[in-house]
Amino acid sequence: MPEITQLPAVYYAAPEVLAVFDATGPRPQFLVDSEKLKVLVVGLKPGQQLPPHPEALAVYHFLSGCGLMTVNSEPFAVSAGAVVIAPPGASRGVVAESQLTFLAVKSGI
């Protein structure tokens, strides 16, 4: 039987306050960084972007601001409360129209 590592419970009342907004570009902050799961909070200044790139299965939950997310060239207008699910291997990117904050939850498998 494989060894199971116990992770402690973690609570973030307002994860958006952990976002880093840097004039030089995105600086994602890991909330969870394990072999099977990654959870990041990302802050983008207006006009900044994450260029389209292929990635594992991921869920994006937008916390504040507005922008445009593309998944396999399909555009989605995003704002606070929006959720985008990108299938494994799909190309995805984000462009911030205003200061934009979101959570990204990615499968490590």
pLDDT digits (tens, 9 = 90+) for 18-27: 999 999 999 9
Q: Rounded to whole angstroms, how far apart are CA atoms 5 and 23?
A: 38
Q: How many residues does the chain have?
A: 109
pLDDT digits (tens, 9 = 90+) for 41-100: 999 999 999 999 999 999 999 999 999 999 999 999 999 999 999 999 999 999 999 999
- CATH (domain of 97): 2.60.120.10
User: Looking at the DSSP assignment, which residues form a beta bridge with residue 83?
Assistant: 61
Q: Which domain holds residue 103?
A: 18-107
77 HSE (CA, 13 A, CB side): 0
The number of domains in the chain is 1
What is the distance of C-alpha 45 from the center of its chain?
A: 14
Q: Would 82 be classed as within a structural domain?
A: yes
Q: Rounded to whole angstroms, how far apart are CA atoms 90 and 46?
A: 25
